[in-house]
């Protein structure tokens, strides 16, 4: 065992227990051995005077300094210098004995200092506790001081709110009210620029009323003559269904990015069953030189659908076709009547005849313009020997109107069918007397009504009243049809995303504002810097899908987390800041709101044109709508209603009478209903369809195929 171990070991309990505190004044021991001897003749630095026991904080501090310096700080300190011990003599004696037994001097010197440290520490602790008791907020201030150090890894959290009520009344784990986005603390240049741009998309009540007046003027102009900006196309549909119609029909729908084939069973009780298949239209067919490839593709899809969903019918047809020499081989009821929903402007000449006026929505096949689209499709169907007759040509808006009328609640017939999707358009029931331009061909005159396809996408191509920001101008200039579909370019889903994209590109290029870029990570609430991927579609035409606007407007999470995720996925914008997403939201909202208020111009003007509000009735005025925008853009319908109430001649009371309801599957159900109307007209017609098919078959056998642009049927 070493001397050190020996000296520090605590052996008998009595020896180690602290002696009673000596209250007598302390003095240097006269018989202290050399080790403890104070030599007053020594240099001042070595002259250490023992402090008296600490009675105040300052004297305690002095004592602490003294003993620290004595033991550790001064290497020159003479070990012979001693101090008066604060311990009683007996203990001192014990210490001295230990010292003389070669105990390291540090032990002997330090032993007395412990008492001062203890006293000092206890006093200090008491003071701190007392301070904490009275100054509760100081704690937070201290934590801020420490955490504000630039290298501190601790993030200070704000002080918790103290609830008056200590009992939690609501055990709800999630908030029941939607969270409200944080407003930026200061108006940064980005916030200011966002406000400036948002203001450009304002469409006031006065604007709405001016729009309605001009819309009514252009509607009536279109009823008087051809070649006006709003085509006001008579559809040869002279009534709307009432829900009792029955039968099995085929329908196909060409009008956007997809082609849909459906068979619809109308049950006659306002319900239906619908089977369909959908396929994306290859881009190269949308902008081909000739229409033949596109229509051959469509016919192929119909064949595929029949084989898959109506195999029995299809097989039976093949068998009958092989016995074509027998007149009984053909039976009229074995032929599917098909409603062809073709959602482009078509000049109709009959219920299943119409020539294409122009392509819209990104299609561009010059060779099809001016041709009968029903004949183009029938020709390709016949080449595949399918048991299908194109019985009706239908615009999607007319289909929507029919579908809504078939399914709508109550006895009210529907006034208007409208689409707010990739494109926008409306079809409404007009009095035949108001149609002053000539309507050639057969139609049922008994109702006094005819459905008009307005083609309102081209309302105000001349920009008499439409708003026209620099972004609208740029979009139009770079489109495939500049100067055309000007209303559609401000209202429909195909274009809204592009407007927002053009705004964003402008802002990103602006060096004075920080959209999707940060000076450094401290300005980004994700403590990162925003990055736009090099392949981001933000910089490509049509690169921003309008569905992102709906996501942005709907995202009221405190961090805009859904929007951030989509920005990353769709536009390769990583770590967008809160200010970025807030700007994105506000711009999307402004562009969408302007679209909704413009939509109200079209709906409101059509209601006024019908004169229904001045009829003494409290029946609702029913409108069927369809399309991604009205279905998914948050509050699109509410914003329409808000603008309707501001229209002179409608007002809040009139707006309440207008019932806007979603009418899904107009392109299927509606087309089937018109095919049904067409079948009824065939029966009344001068030549029955069976004869037409026989003639057609005979022609085919003789190798005389119908030419494109002519119809293959008689009606
Ligand atoms: C375009 C077409 C129109 C169609 C609308 C909605 O505006 O020209 O016929 O109804 O899109 O699909």
Name which of 193-197, 581-585, 612-616 the model is least confident about. 612-616
Stronger pLDDT, 554 or 15, i.e. the higher one: 554
Chain centroid to Cα 498, Å, comes to 15
Q: Which of 673, 626, 682, 701 is nearest to 248 (CA)?
A: 673
Distance (Å) from CA 256 to ligand 1 centroid: 9
Residue 552: CB atoms within 10 Å: 25
Q: Which residues pair with 336 in a beta bridge?
A: 388
Q: Which atom of ligand 1 is nearest to the CA of 456?
A: 7
Reply yes or no on whether the pLDDT at 100 is more than 70.
Answer: no
Helical pair 470-477 and 493-509, crossing angle rounded to 10 deg: 110
Reply yes or no on whether the pLDDT at 91 is more than 60.
Answer: no
Triad 147, 149, 152: Cα angle to 5° = 65
Phi–psi pair at 418, nearest 5 degrees: -135, 145
| Residue from 394, 424, 671 whose mutation best tests the ligand 1 pocket (most atoms within 8 A of CB) | 424
- Percentage of the chain beyond pLDDT 90 is 53
Question: Please, which pLDDT band fits residue 324 given cuts at 50, 70 and 90?
Answer: low
| Residue from 422, 423, 452 whose mutation best tests the ligand 1 pocket (most atoms within 8 A of CB) | 423
Reply yes or no on whether the pLDDT at 351 is more than 60.
Answer: yes
User: Rounded to an integer, what distance in angstroms lies between the CA atom of residue 439 and that of residue 233?
Assistant: 9
User: Rounded to an integer, what distance in angstroms lies between the CA atom of residue 495 and that of residue 542?
Assistant: 8
Q: Which atom of ligand 1 is nearest to the CA of 419?
A: 6
Distance (Å) from CA 207 to ligand 1 centroid: 24
Q: Which atom of ligand 1 is nearest to the CA of 488?
A: 7
Average pLDDT in the 379-388 region?
94
Q: Which of 571, 583, 508, 564 is nearest to 540 (CA)?
A: 571
Q: Which of 427, 457, 443, 429 is nearest to 357 (CA)?
A: 457
Distance (Å) from CA 507 to ligand 1 centroid: 32
Reply yes or no on whether the pLDDT at 450 is more than 90.
Answer: yes
Say which DSSP state 372 is in: B
Distance (Å) from CA 359 to ligand 1 centroid: 9
Q: Whose CA is nearest to atom 12 of ligand 1?
A: 423
Q: Which atom of ligand 1 is nearest to the CA of 255?
A: 12
Phi–psi pair at 274, nearest 5 degrees: -130, 130
Kindly list the distances between the CA atom of residue 492 and the CA atoms of 122, 361, 600, 630, 695, in Å, as whole numbers in the listed order: 77, 10, 13, 10, 45
DSSP, residue by residue, 373-423: HHHHHHHHHHHTT-SEEEEEEE-HHHHHHHHHHHH-SSSPPEEEEEEESSS
Do residues 633 and 641 make contact, with C-beta atoms less than 8 angstroms apart? Answer: no
Where in the sequence numbering do the catalytic residues fall? 343, 358, 396
Residue located via tokens 């595949």: 384
Q: Which atom of ligand 1 is nearest to the CA of 423?
A: 11
DSSP, residue by residue, 147-200: HTSTT--PPPPPPPPPPS--S-----SS-SSPPPPPPPSS--HHHHHHHHHHHH
Stronger pLDDT, 193 or 330, i.e. the higher one: 193
Q: Which atom of ligand 1 is nearest to the CA of 457?
A: 7
Distance (Å) from CA 485 to ligand 1 centroid: 10
Distance (Å) from CA 613 to ligand 1 centroid: 27
Distance (Å) from CA 424 to ligand 1 centroid: 6
Q: Which residues pair with 452 in a beta bridge?
A: 234, 428
| Residue from 286, 425, 670 whose mutation best tests the ligand 1 pocket (most atoms within 8 A of CB) | 425
Residue 391: CB atoms within 10 Å: 30
| Residue from 457, 458, 487 whose mutation best tests the ligand 1 pocket (most atoms within 8 A of CB) | 457
Q: Whose CA is nearest to atom 1 of ligand 1?
A: 423
Q: Which helix (H) or strand (E) holds 660?
A: strand 658-662
Chain centroid to Cα 435, Å, comes to 42
Residue 652: CB atoms within 10 Å: 11
Do residues 415 and 623 make contact, with C-beta atoms less than 8 angstroms apart? Answer: yes
Q: Which of 312, 303, 248 is nearest to 279 (CA)?
A: 303
Q: What lines the ligand 1 site, CB under 6 Å?
A: 255, 343-345, 360-361, 395-397, 419, 423-425, 455, 457, 488
Residue 674: CB atoms within 10 Å: 32
244: tokens are 């009792």
Q: Whose CA is nearest to atom 2 of ligand 1?
A: 344
Q: Whose CA is nearest to atom 9 of ligand 1?
A: 344
Name which of 318-332, 530-544, 637-651 the model is least confident about. 318-332
Say which DSSP state 558 is in: T
Reply yes or no on whether the pLDDT at 304 is more than 90.
Answer: yes
Reply yes or no on whether the pLDDT at 606 is more than 90.
Answer: yes
Reply yes or no on whether the pLDDT at 49 is more than 90.
Answer: no
Name which of 77-81, 542-546, 566-570 the model is least confident about. 77-81
User: Rounded to an integer, what distance in angstroms lies between the CA atom of residue 157 and that of residue 581?
Assistant: 24
Name which of 140-154, 240-254, 424-438, 574-588 the model is least confident about. 140-154
pLDDT at 407: 87
User: Rounded to an integer, what distance in angstroms lies between the CA atom of residue 207 and that of residue 194?
Assistant: 22
User: Rounded to an integer, what distance in angstroms lies between the CA atom of residue 110 and that of residue 105?
Assistant: 9
Question: Please, which pLDDT band fits residue 196 given cuts at 50, 70 and 90?
Answer: very high
Question: Please, which pLDDT band fits residue 323 given cuts at 50, 70 and 90?
Answer: low
Triad 149, 154, 155: Cα angle to 5° = 95
Q: Whose CA is nearest to atom 4 of ligand 1?
A: 343
Name which of 22-31, 437-446, 497-506 the model is least confident about. 22-31
């Amino acid at each position: 065992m070493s001397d050190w171990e020996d000296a520090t070991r605590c052996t008998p309990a009595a020896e180690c227990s602290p002696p009673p505190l000596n209250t007598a004044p302390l003095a240097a021991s006269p018989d202290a051995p050399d080790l403890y001897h104070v030599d007053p003749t020594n240099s001042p630095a070595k002259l250490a005077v023992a402090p008296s026991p600490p009675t105040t904080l300052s004297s305690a501090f002095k004592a602490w300094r003294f003993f620290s310096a004595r033991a550790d700080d001064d290497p020159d300190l003479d070990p012979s210098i001693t101090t008066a011990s604060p311990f009683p003599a007996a203990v001192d004696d014990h210490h001295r004995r230990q010292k003389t037994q070669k105990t390291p001097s540090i032990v002997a010197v330090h032993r007395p200092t412990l008492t001062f440290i203890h006293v000092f520490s206890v006093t200090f602790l008491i003071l701190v506790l007392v301070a904490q008791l009275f100054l509760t907020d100081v704690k937070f201030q201290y934590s801020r001081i420490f955490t504000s150090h630039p290298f501190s890894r601790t993030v200070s959290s704000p002080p918790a709110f103290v609830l008056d009520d200590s009992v939690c009344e609501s055990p709800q784990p999630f908030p029941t009210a939607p969270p409200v986005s944080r407003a930026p603390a200061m108006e940064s240049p980005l916030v200011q620029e966002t406000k400036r741009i948002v203001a450009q998309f304002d469409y006031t009540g006065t604007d709405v009323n001016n729009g309605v007046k001009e819309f009514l003027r252009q509607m009536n102009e279109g009823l008087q003559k051809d070649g006006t900006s709003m085509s006001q196309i008579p559809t040869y549909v002279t009534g709307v269904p009432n829900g009792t119609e029955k039968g099995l029909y085929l329908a196909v729908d060409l009008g956007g990015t997809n082609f849909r084939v459906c068979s619809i069973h109308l049950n006659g009780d306002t319900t239906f069953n619908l089977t369909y298949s959908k396929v994306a239209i290859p881009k190269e067919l949308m902008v081909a030189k000739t229409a033949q490839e596109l229509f051959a593709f469509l016919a192929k899809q119909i064949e595929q659908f029949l084989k898959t969903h109506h195999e029995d019918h299809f097989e039976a047809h093949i068998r009958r076709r092989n016995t074509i020499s027998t007149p009984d081989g053909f039976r009229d009821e074995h032929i599917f009547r098909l409603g062809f929903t073709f959602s482009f402007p078509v000049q109709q000449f009959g219920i299943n005849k119409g020539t294409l006026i122009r392509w819209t929505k990104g299609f561009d096949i010059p060779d099809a313009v001016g041709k009968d689209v029903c004949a183009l499709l029938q020709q390709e169907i016949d080449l595949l020997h399918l048991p299908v007759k194109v019985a009706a040509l239908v615009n999607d808006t007319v289909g929507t109107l029919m579908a809504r009328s078939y399914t709508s609640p109550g006895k009210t017939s529907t006034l208007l069918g409208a689409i707010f999707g990739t494109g926008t358009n409306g079809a409404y029931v007009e009095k035949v007397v108001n149609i002053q331009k000539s309507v050639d061909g057969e139609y049922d005159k008994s109702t006094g009504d005819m459905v008009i396809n307005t083609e309102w996408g081209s309302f105000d191509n001349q920009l008499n009243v439409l708003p026209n920001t620099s972004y609208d101008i740029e979009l139009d200039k770079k489109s495939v049809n500049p100067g055309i579909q000007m209303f559609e370019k401000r209202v429909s889903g195909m274009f809204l995303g592009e407007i927002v994209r053009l705004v964003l590109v402008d802002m990103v290029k602006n060096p004075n504002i920080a959209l999707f870029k940060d000076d450094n990570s401290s300005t980004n609430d994700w403590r990162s810097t925003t990055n736009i991927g090099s392949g981001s579609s933000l910089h490509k035409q049509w690169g921003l899908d309008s569905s992102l606007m709906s996501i942005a407007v709907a995202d009221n999470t405190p961090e805009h987390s859904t929007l951030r995720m989509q920005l990353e996925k769709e536009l390769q914008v990583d770590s967008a800041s809160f200010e970025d997403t807030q700007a994105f939201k506000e711009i999307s909202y402004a562009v969408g709101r302007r679209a909704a208020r413009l939509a109200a111009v079209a709906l409101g003007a059509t209601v006024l044109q019908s004169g229904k509000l001045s009829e003494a009735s409290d029946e609702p005025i029913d409108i069927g709508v369809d399309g991604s925008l009205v279905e998914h853009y948050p509050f699109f319908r509410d914003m329409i209603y808000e603008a309707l109430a501001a229209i002179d001649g409608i007002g809040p009371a009139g707006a309440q009478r207008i019932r806007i309801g979603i009418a899904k599957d107009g392109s299927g159900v509606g087309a089937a209903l018109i095919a049904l109307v067409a079948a009824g007209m065939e029966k009344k017609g001068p030549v029955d369809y069976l004869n037409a098919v026989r003639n057609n078959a005979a022609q085919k056998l003789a190798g005389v195929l119908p030419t494109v642009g002519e119809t293959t049927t008689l009606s």
